[in-house]
Amino acid sequence: MLQRMRALLPGRRSRTLSTTSPAKNPACAEFEVDNWAVSRFVLANLIPAVGVEPFPLHELMLMSSAVCRLRPPQIFEWGTHVGKSARVFYECARHYGIAVQIHSVDLPDEVDHVEHPQGLRGRLVRGLPGVHLHQGDGLEVSFSVWRASGRVPAPLFFIDGDHAYESVLRELSAVASEIPGASALLHDTFNQSSGSGYNVGPHRAIEEVLRTHPGRYRRIDSGLGLPGMTLLYQLRS
């Protein structure tokens, strides 16, 4: 038992972990991963790299599971900040041998925004192979890169920019319309009753897009509490 506990310590990196994909039963209809294997990976590789903010443990597990189960050839995200989400995707792809190009977009340096990291932008992923940092409008830049790269099928989008209902609805609707085969991870999606005072805009936007595209996506919510993460996925046969 002591040896098993030591194997889970954050200081013990990939050498103690299996590199076999935790995705289970890929020929079956349900999204399934080995949660024990994903837990070990998150504790050993992700916690030392990115900590638990802004993504708690169960959200790190969902992000990792999405990459392992969907094996997207491209991941697009906006709101790079210091690069925590891009680093999560990179670590997962590197450990499990998944060939993916990660494109992360942030605001131009001259834009004044409370969450703009300025000189710290992307510091956790600068120079890492397969990670590309861009600046501009996240949606426009992502679509431009996707088209220029040959419209690669079944990319994964991570939507974690402006969390207003209107913004998330615009972004997710555009992804659904422009790239019907894409899957999407969305952050800050926890839904609570009005007495909480929480921003439930992302949750409302997801509900609207699901109504607009009935039957296209299956859904997994991290649940439990803030901040919340939702995966809208399409399994490839």
Asked whether residue 30 is domain-assigned, the answer is no
* C-alpha dihedral (134, 204, 183, 30), degrees to nearest 10: 150
Task: Please write the tens of the pLDDT for every residue from 137-188.
Answer: 999 999 999 999 999 999 999 999 888 999 999 999 999 999 999 999 999 9
CA 56/CA 117 separation, integer angstroms: 21
What's the CATH number where 213 sits? Answer: 3.40.50.150
Long-range contacts of 217-225 (CB under 8 A, 24+ apart): 217/183, 218/31, 220/31, 220/62, 221/189, 222/58, 222/59, 222/62, 222/189, 222/190, 223/190, 224/58, 224/190, 225/190
Helices (H) and strands (E) in the chain, counts: 8, 7
Q: Is 100 exposed, middle or buried (0-12, 13-18, 19+ CB in 10 A)?
A: buried
Asked whether residue 9 is domain-assigned, the answer is no
CB atoms within 10 A of CB 21: 18
pLDDT in the model for residue 43 = 98
Spatial neighbors of 98 by CB under 8 A, at least 6 apart, are: 21, 67, 68, 71, 92
Task: Please write the tens of the pLDDT for every residue from 32-75.
Answer: 999 999 999 999 999 999 999 999 999 999 999 999 999 999 99
CB atoms within 10 A of CB 98: 17
Dmax over Cα atoms in the chain, in whole Å?
54
- Domain limits at 103? 70-233
Asked whether residue 112 is domain-assigned, the answer is yes
Asked whether residue 8 is domain-assigned, the answer is no
Nearest to residue 220, comparing CAs of 175, 177, 186? 186
CA 45/CA 33 separation, integer angstroms: 17
Asked whether residue 12 is domain-assigned, the answer is no
Task: Please write the tens of the pLDDT for every residue from 97-147.
Answer: 999 999 999 988 666 555 656 668 899 999 999 999 999 999 999 999 999
Do 101 and 128 contact (CB within 8 A), yes or no? Answer: no
Helix (H, G, I), strand (E, B) or coil at 58: helix
Task: Please write the tens of the pLDDT for every residue from 198-220.
Answer: 999 999 999 999 999 999 999 99
Asked whether residue 195 is domain-assigned, the answer is yes
Q: What is the mean pLDDT of residues 19-27?
A: 95
The pLDDT > 90 percentage for the chain reads 81
Asked whether residue 28 is domain-assigned, the answer is no
Lowest-confidence region among 7-16, 60-69, 71-80: 7-16
Split at pLDDT 50, 70, 90, the class of 5 is very low
Report in angstroms the alpha-carbon separations of 81 from 95, 111, 131, 200, 228: 23, 13, 14, 22, 19
Do 178 and 207 contact (CB within 8 A), yes or no? Answer: no
Helix (H) or strand (E) holding 97: none
Number of domains in the chain: 1
Asked whether residue 42 is domain-assigned, the answer is no
